[in-house]
Chains A and B, each alone.
Chain A
Amino acid sequence: KNEVEQSPQNLTAQEGEFITINCSYSVGISALHWLQQHPGGGIVSLFMLSSGKKKHGRLIATINIQEKHSSLHITASHPRDSAVYICAVSGSGGSNYKLTFGKGTLLTVNP
């Protein structure tokens, strides 16, 4: 079974700060996903990546397949970025679609 570890569990930042959330996994995968869950519960898929780096607005996701590690960066953080960020991996155990989730990182950005 693939274990997905995220750090930190909780993160508090001031508006404008650069944020980094880390994710490590234990076995081979086909893709890694970064998800955002707002207090109401709804989940938004931010990135799916299998190599390299992706950027969308102020969000950047990187993955190092050899080291089994990914990072999610938020530049110029804003209070509306406050949410739980979840790392999930797919493709372990023979299934390309089943996701294994990390426990999430609760980000609070203060004005």
Chain B
Amino acid sequence: GAVVSQHPSWVICKSGTSVKIECRSLDFQATTMFWYRQFPKQSLMLMATSNEGSKATYEQGVEKDKFLINHASLTLSTLTVTSAHPEDSSFYICSAEGGGTDTQYFGPGTRLTVL
């Protein structure tokens, strides 16, 4: 089946630094990628929808200048958390849609801890 990878799987950073998370579709071209955030014991919350070659569409309440999304190719989308703060600590998950199906394929997630 289709595989989506994320890198890194976990990251610890100091407050004020920026962190980049990569999401790759390994064996299919992803026309659309989604970025989610999940706080402990909470459901996944969609942050933004990313289409290759165009600007991401952010959900209400998500700061586009803080969470920069780049979908430069059909197999790679990146999420950069700029000037990270402890409240940004969360589990970030991407998913990709494509490969000729309507199914979303989820990445394994990236756990971000901001000290």
Query: Residues of A at under 8 Å CB distance from B?
Result: 30-31, 33, 35, 40-45, 48, 86, 88, 90, 96-99, 101-104
- Provide the bound-state CA to CA distance between A29 and B63, in Å: 28
Given contacts A41-B111, A97-B32, A97-B97, contact A103 B106 (CB under 8 A): no
Given contacts A99-B46, A102-B43, contact A44 B109 (CB under 8 A): no
Smallest beta-carbon distance A7→chain B, Å: 14
- Provide the bound-state CA to CA distance between A44 and B74, in Å: 21
**In the complex the two chains form, is A97's CB within 8 Å of B44's CB?**
no
B70 within 8 A of A: no
B104 within 8 A of A: yes
What is the 8 Å Cβ interface bit string for chain B, positions 18-37, against chain A (1 contact, 0 not)? Answer: 00000000000000101000
Q: Write out the residue numbers on chain B whose beta carbons fall within 8 Å of the beta carbon of A45.
A: 103-106
CB contacts under 8 Å to A, within B76-105, are: 91, 93, 95, 97, 102-105
Interface majority SS on A: helix, strand, loop or mixed?
strand
CB contacts under 8 Å to A, within B38-94, are: 38, 42-46, 49, 91, 93
**In the complex the two chains form, is B108's CB within 8 Å of A42's CB?**
yes
- Provide the bound-state CA to CA distance between A9 and B45, in Å: 18
- Provide the bound-state CA to CA distance between A102 and B44, in Å: 8
**In the complex the two chains form, is A96's CB within 8 Å of B102's CB?**
yes
Given contacts A97-B32, A97-B49, A97-B97, contact A42 B44 (CB under 8 A): no
**In the complex the two chains form, is A48's CB within 8 Å of B103's CB?**
yes
Pick from B32, B102, B105, B107: contact of A31, CB under 8 Å: B102
Q: Write out the residue numbers on chain B whose beta carbons fall within 8 Å of the beta carbon of A104.
A: 43
Q: Write out the residue numbers on chain A whose beta carbons fall within 8 Å of the beta carbon of B107.
A: 42
Pick from B43, B46, B91, B93: contact of A98, CB under 8 Å: B46
Q: Write out the residue numbers on chain A whose beta carbons fall within 8 Å of the beta carbon of B102.
A: 30-31, 48, 90, 96-97
